[in-house]
Chain A
Amino acid sequence: MNSVFDLVWVVIGLPLAGFLLHAFFGKRLGKKAVGTVGTAVVLGAFALSVYLLAELLKLPADQQKVTSTLWRWIEAGSFRVAFEALVDPLSLLMALIVTGVGGLIHLYSTGYMAEDEDYPRFFTYMNLFIVFMLTLVLSNNLLMMFVGWEGVGLCSYLLIGFWYKEKVNTDSANKAFIVNRIGDWGFTLAVLLAFWTFGTLSFAGEGNMFQKAVEMKQAGLLSPGVITAIALLLFVGATGKSAQFPLYMWLPDAMAGPTPVSALIHAATMVTAGVVMVTRCHVLFELAPVAMLVVAVIGVFTAIFAATIALAQTDIKRVLAYSTVSQLGYMFLGCGVGAFASGMFHVTTHAFFKALLFLGSGSVILALHHEQDMRRMGGLAKYLPITYWTMLAGWLAIAGIPPLAGFFSKDEILSAAFGTHVLPVSIGQILWAVGLVTALLTAFYMTRLMGLTFWGEPRWAEAHAHHGKDDAHGHSGQPRESPPSMTVPLMILAVLSVVGGFIGGFAPLHIPNRFGRFLEPSAGLQVLGEEAVGHLPVSTEWLLVWASVLAAVLGLWFGWARYRAGLPESERELSGIRKVLYHQYYYDWLMVKGIGLWLGGKIAFWMWQFVDGRLIDGFVNGIAGLTGWVGNSLRRVQTGYVRNYAFTILIGAMILLIWLLVRGASAGLAR
């Protein structure tokens, strides 16, 4: 198996080498070396992925699934799992996103974290994250994917709690990890159930899981209950990792980590792992229409739910966090209506503009000395020009204004929802309507963000003034634009946000959907067939397009009207409905304090007292007591009287003799 695709292990190996180098020698190498190596390995992996993509595209479409085995991992009876990579359009797409956007973020971090003492540790964790994320997307079986899945969860924990000396950061890290774990419980059950049903966990190659599923369905051996259960449990895992309702509450708190972390992990890559997993397993979902419906409904509900909460947030990163949750909902909506490729397209464009928005906000935060409350920003357009113009691109992209990237991907999903035959048509239309409203809200709150941050009068003067002219950092009183290490990635991402959408094509104008065709081998509807996605007549398509654009423009206009002058008076303090939205309809409070602490506390207490104390301790002590009692009873046999012993021996010998003879007689001892 010496094909060129074995180089895929080098793609994972480069960041791994970076991780090891930084872990052992980081402190000694100094900041410049660590930053350079850390970024270089990721960009090197990106270059290699590009090369592999070129090689893959040379193959005919139905052969674009190449596997490469590193070693045989588990072989226990019929349970065989190997460390196998799958090189196909989906995995390479994600590898490119992870290493490309990731590489840009590493470059950005060399500027953002420049003053931090724990600089080497940061790059150690970041490189490790890239390793695990690549393992997740490049894996060829559910178990290896789970290794990557858990690994990125670990790195997320390490990076959220990076500034561990503040308790709120470690609490957020714990919350992220624990909520994730709940999702992982679902994932684990799904893996077990899948193995029990199919006997294999691999995605491609001889006798893979999807092949088996289709065969079983055709032979009538696959019960709908089982496959729906598997799909739903997988989705539970996706809910945890991709912050959908009801397991989304860790993501806003995860903003406690440094901004590059928020950009990389909680916008572009890790949170999209759920979408990637669902797309990867799309065959299983296609076989379980109920699960598809659940995915779509939860996706669109989360989208609008998070969008309403974003309206009332005051922390710039939190607005973006809820925006991420909302956009992830869109991606799941796309998957749920059968448009897996469209979902992945939105993953791609979202990676561009959301990373851009986060990095831009990081630039703002740094310029204002770690100020994150938007009520104390304003009027920054003229002080941070590069940041401002790049964020403008990101803002228009996410709002869905053509011809930027966000418009294409969002519109594709909405059209797919409207015209889908996977779900009943009326449901599809309802989903479309909700999605449309969400698009309006998205445009509105993003405009709010831009308004509060960049337009109107500066409100940071008072807060800024008490830093003084010559404070410890040597900053002057004015916010200054960020260094090139930070602005170059912003510019690159802005360009991508503007032009990146065209590869998705545009049906009304007959621009071909190259992205969809590219992803066909991985995400094409195998079971339900192409007709299920639905092809709308061109006139309907135009109608939907205009509706999307109208929603975006309306949202923009309302936002501009309200926020162009900066912060309105009514928003200085939290009150009324704004307060409810701010507190996430008190869902987080309910989950954490109510169920988590109170109910969990009661259960923990009971477990300790009863299960651990009485059952388990009782059992163990009981065994010891039983042993003692038996020993105590048996010792009375040792009487010391030799004749008794002889008597016992005699009886035993007689029994033995008779038994032997009886056995011999029945076996025919005839001589």
Chain B
Amino acid sequence: MDAVPISWYLTLSAFMFAMGVTGVVIKRNPIVIFMCIELMLNAANLAFLAFARQQAQLGAQVAGQVYAILVMAVAAAEVAIGLGIIVAIYRLRDTINVDEMNLLKF
């Protein structure tokens, strides 16, 4: 399993992250924006696990796995709430175009 250099995993992770950021800036549908956020979180997970393989001690190596699990738990919680918010906004405004939610301005 050491045939693939760690830097390739990391590059992949960076690519996913970049795509996620692009989606957040470009898309108008908040649900899709959320999905791009999930993409970014997964990129982070991949990075964690890749770096965990670079550690010397057992404790540090397992730590990377634990981080990934915790990130997933947080992501799950965040999705639950986030989607709830989107549904609530849709009920109120009957649209979920992000550009329409601009009351917090000067």
Contacts and interface: CB of A to CB of B under 8 A. Distances in A.
A638 B28 contact: no
Contacts of B21: 646, 650
Contacts of A635: 106
B28 A641 contact: no
B73 to A, nearest CB: 25
A643 B105 contact: no
A116 B102 CA distance: 83
B2 interface: no
B105 A642 contact: no
B102 A641 contact: yes
B105 A638 contact: yes
B31 interface: no
B24 interface: yes
Interface in B23-51: 24-26, 28
Contacts of B98: 641-643
A639 B25 contact: no
B94 interface: no
B6 to A, nearest CB: 13
A453 to B, nearest CB: 88
Given A643-B98, A643-B99, A638 B25 contact: no
A640 B105 contact: yes
B99 A641 contact: yes
B103 interface: yes
Contacts of B104: 638, 640
A638 B102 CA distance: 10
Contacts of B66: none
Contact of A639 (B24, B26, B28, B102): B102
B101 A639 contact: no
A628 to B, nearest CB: 14
A651 to B, nearest CB: 10
Interface in B46-93: none
A470 B106 CA distance: 90
A523 B26 CA distance: 91
A638 B21 CA distance: 21
Contacts of A629: none
A633 to B, nearest CB: 11
Contact of B25 (A636, A640, A646): A646
Contacts of A636: 106
A214 to B, nearest CB: 72
A71 interface: no
Nearest to B103: A640
B24 A646 contact: yes
Contacts of B106: 635-636, 638-639
A640 B24 contact: no
Contacts of B105: 638-640
A640 B99 CA distance: 8
B28 A640 contact: no
Interface residues of B, number: 13
A639 B104 CA distance: 8
Most chain B CB neighbours (cut-off 10 Å) among A635, A636, A639, A642: A642
A670 B101 CA distance: 47
Contacts of A650: 21, 25
B102 A643 contact: no
B104 to A, nearest CB: 5
A647 B25 contact: yes
Contacts of A642: 98, 101
Nearest to A648: B25
Contacts of B28: 643
Nearest to B98: A642
Nearest to B104: A640
Contacts of B102: 639-641
A642 B101 CA distance: 8
Nearest to A647: B25
A642 B104 CA distance: 10
A172 B98 CA distance: 81
Contacts of A641: 98-99, 102
A661 to B, nearest CB: 13
A631 to B, nearest CB: 10
Contacts of B26: 643
A178 B81 CA distance: 78
B38 to A, nearest CB: 16
Interface string B8-27: 00000000000001001110
Nearest to A642: B98
A647 B25 CA distance: 6
B25 A643 contact: yes
A402 to B, nearest CB: 96
A646 B28 CA distance: 12
A661 B103 CA distance: 38
B50 to A, nearest CB: 16
A641 B28 CA distance: 11
A413 B77 CA distance: 103
Nearest to A636: B106
A583 B103 CA distance: 82
Nearest to B105: A640
Nearest to B30: A642
Interface in A607-655: 635-636, 638-643, 646-647, 650
A588 to B, nearest CB: 67
A647 B104 CA distance: 17
Interface string A499-540: 000000000000000000000000000000000000000000
A642 B89 CA distance: 15
A257 to B, nearest CB: 69
A641 B105 CA distance: 8
Contacts of A639: 102, 105-106
Nearest to A644: B25
Interface in A323-340: none
A641 B25 CA distance: 11
Nearest to A651: B25
Nearest to B101: A642
Interface of B: 21, 24-26, 28, 98-99, 101-106
Given A636-B106, A640-B104, A641-B99, 15 more contacts: A635-B106, A638-B104, A638-B105, A638-B106, A639-B102, A639-B105, A639-B106, A640-B103, A643-B24, A643-B28, A643-B98, A646-B24, A646-B25, A650-B21, A650-B25
27 contacts: A635-B106, A638-B104, A638-B105, A638-B106, A639-B102, A639-B105, A640-B101, A640-B102, A640-B103, A640-B104, A640-B105, A641-B98, A641-B99, A641-B102, A642-B101, A643-B24, A643-B25, A643-B26, A643-B28, A643-B98, A643-B99, A646-B21, A646-B24, A646-B25, A647-B25, A650-B21, A650-B25
Task: Give the top 8 A-B pairs by smallest Cβ distance, nearest first.
Answer: A640-B102, A640-B105, A635-B106, A638-B106, A647-B25, A646-B25, A646-B24, A638-B105
